[in-house]
Structure 1
Amino acid sequence: MPLTTDAKGVFPIAPTPFFDDGSIDVSSIDRMMDFYLGCGSTGVTVLGQLGEASKLEHAESIDVAARVIARAGNLPVVVGVSAPGFAAMRALTQDVMAKGAAGVMIAPPNTLRTDDQIVTYYRQAVEAIGPDVPFVLQDYPLTFSVQMTPSVIRRIVQDLPSCVMLKHEDWPGLEKISALRAFEQDGSMRHISILCGNNGLFLDYEMERGADGANTGYCFPDMLCDVVRLTEEGKREEAHDLFDAHLPLLRYEQQPGVGLAVRKYVLMRRGILSSAAQRKPAAAMSAQARQEVDHLLGRLGRRDRRAAGLVG
């Protein structure tokens, strides 16, 4: 089924599992997808920024996406197709949609500076991939250096019906969510799904501002599912208590450069990945960093049993 504006819940950003020699670990893909299905995920995104997509050949990207889609059951799978040029974006989009992807995610190139440049880029991207392909607009200025105001997002949403979701990763960004939902209420923008990334650092209050859930790769996506569920059930303090217990590890994992290594290390400790390996070029965790993560896991285990017994 194609991705729609009604999407909500948690779409984990899947890492790409590798063996130590850099080859793709398909057994870990299967195990990871089974875990996502079992913990309450409502979708999944593959080949995102921290899925090491830029390190894959085109054929490998298709193989990884196809494996995820085949294992996803009824979960919609979004595939990151961001590329320096539209030819590569179009080719990857056509191939993954043919495999059964629900939609694609497009991040802006860091060369865009003006509002008109941003809007024009997305118009041209839709021309390249086709107006029938649902797409996720990724707004992550901390990484891409592209500033999208609420008004620019509204222009994209209104001009391009195939834009069905915003991956919101601005920081600070709570007021942006409120502004977008206010546009919907006054009728100046149609409704779209808003799922939040940035490792979920502000998910507790983002949900209260009107976000529909999370679209990020934190190493405890089951916690994200619980926070979304508790919020929807009106159990505000319970949701905040659980979120607060994870916040130190969330913060540590969000560090630029080392974040993916931390994420893969914890997923390996949880038995989801066979190896914490990244494909080169990559920076490995230092022994001191592993000790710090183990310390965080030990402290988290006192408040969330899912982290108990994971210390290496």
Structure 2
Amino acid sequence: MTHLPYSGIWPVAPTPFNDDGTVDLPGMKRVLDCMIDQGVDGICILANFSEQFLISDAEREALMRLSLDHVAGRVPVIVTISHYATAIVVERARLAKDLGADIVMLMPPYHGALLKGTPEQTFEQFAAVGQVGIPIMLQDAPLSGVDLPVSLLVKMAREIEMLKLFKIECPQAAAKLRSLIAEGGDAIEGPFDGEEAITLLADLDAGATGTMTSALIPDLIGPIVTDFLAGNRQAAIDGYGRVLPVVNHENRQCGFRAAKAAMVEGGVIASDFCRHPIPPLHPDTRGLLLDLMRPLDPIVLSWGK
């Protein structure tokens, strides 16, 4: 879709479960096929929107192997490898590289509210992953609670050769992206935004070249990025205006449950089950999501029918 090496739309694949809570491996293949048919530039697996915090180590390895084998190079795949322990992060990076992943993504080291990596420890963990020899995307998300000042990110970008991409989804993401690009220059090869594209236009204005959304409507958000990067600013603004009600409802009301609900509606997967303690979507919240989506006719609502 786009001409830059790290650009476009690289959504997170949801992890489907059966109604009994077991991982739906055939459904995972259908999720990936649907996303490729949505025209994505890449796919991220095992991320927060994949419910990585609700799956076991054995399940994450099985999902990684299945996903990389099934995508089979049709689009690049990012594997999320976040963990507090640097040795585990490095082990996950090595396995992802050995299995054919294109990029790994991780947050800074944290575990709960009180165990957070210092700037030095964050640098050391990313440097250790860099030694594995696979491109890295740094995820700057509020979930970690770790402060990542622009000066630290620029130092990491300049001194860790494999750190190529930065997914910025903290408050005031556009301001941080603008500063990061201005101070980091060519070392910032892939400035991305996230958070379901709720701040996409501001982030593109600030210099973002890509976005990591959910798998809900990437076929509708991707063209916005393409138009903007091609200089078709008004087309991008108009496109964003059309999808914003859906993006807002997903971001503020549904979270990662939105993509799974839509995929059930469209016959992609059989169940939108979420493991405890995640509650199911309220029927009214789900109903409004689908009501907002139907006039836009996204691929997800008809893919499996």
Q: Is TM-score (shorter-chain normalized) higher than 0.5?
A: yes
| TM class by smaller structure | 0.7 to 0.9
**Maintained 8 Å contact 1:297/1:308:** no
State the Cα distance separating 1:278 from its structure 2 match: 1.5
| 1:257-299 superposed Cα distances (whole Å, 9 cap, x missing partner) | x41222311222233222211223321112222233233235x
Q: How many equivalent residue pairs?
A: 295
State the Cα distance separating 1:10 from its structure 2 match: 1.1
- Find the counterpart in structure 2 of residue 134 from structure 1: 135
Task: Give 1:1-312 correspondences, 5 Å limit.
Answer: 6-72=5-71, 73-108=73-108, 109=110, 111=114, 117-127=118-128, 130-141=131-142, 143-185=143-185, 190-255=187-252, 258-298=254-294, 301=295, 304-306=296-298
**Maintained 8 Å contact 2:135/2:163:** yes
Aligned counterparts of 1:232 and 1:173: Cα–Cα separation in 2: 18
Aligned counterparts of 1:238 and 1:45: Cα–Cα separation in 2: 27
**Maintained 8 Å contact 2:220/2:298:** no
74-83 or 269-278, which deviates more: 269-278
Aligned counterparts of 2:153 and 2:300: Cα–Cα separation in 1: 42
Aligned counterparts of 2:292 and 2:219: Cα–Cα separation in 1: 17
Aligned counterparts of 1:280 and 1:130: Cα–Cα separation in 2: 37
Structure 2 runs not aligned, ≥5 long = none
State the Cα distance separating 1:140 from its structure 2 match: 1.1
Cα gap change, 1:306 to 1:124, in 2 (>3 Å): closer
Write the letter of the residue equivalent to 2:153: I
| 1:143-185 superposed Cα distances (whole Å, 9 cap, x missing partner) | 2222222212111112211211101112212121211221245
82-91 or 37-46, which deviates more: 82-91
State the Cα distance separating 1:222 from its structure 2 match: 0.9
State the Cα distance separating 1:127 from its structure 2 match: 2.1
State the Cα distance separating 1:100 from its structure 2 match: 0.8
Write the letter of the residue equivalent to 2:292: L
3-state SS, counterpart of residue 258 of structure 2:
helix
Aligned counterparts of 2:158 and 2:300: Cα–Cα separation in 1: 47
Aligned counterparts of 2:301 and 2:251: Cα–Cα separation in 1: 23
Aligned counterparts of 2:140 and 2:256: Cα–Cα separation in 1: 19
State the Cα distance separating 1:35 from its structure 2 match: 2.1
Aligned counterparts of 1:156 and 1:129: Cα–Cα separation in 2: 10
Aligned counterparts of 1:193 and 1:134: Cα–Cα separation in 2: 11
Aligned counterparts of 1:199 and 1:42: Cα–Cα separation in 2: 16
Write the letter of the residue equivalent to 2:46: L
3-state SS, counterpart of residue 256 of structure 2:
helix
Structure 1 runs not aligned, ≥5 long = none
| TM-score, with length taken from structure 1 | 0.86
| TM-score, with length taken from structure 2 | 0.88
Aligned counterparts of 2:300 and 2:89: Cα–Cα separation in 1: 42
Identity %: 23
Alignment RMSD: 2.4
Aligned counterparts of 1:112 and 1:150: Cα–Cα separation in 2: 21
3-state SS, counterpart of residue 252 of structure 2:
coil
**Maintained 8 Å contact 2:166/2:188:** no
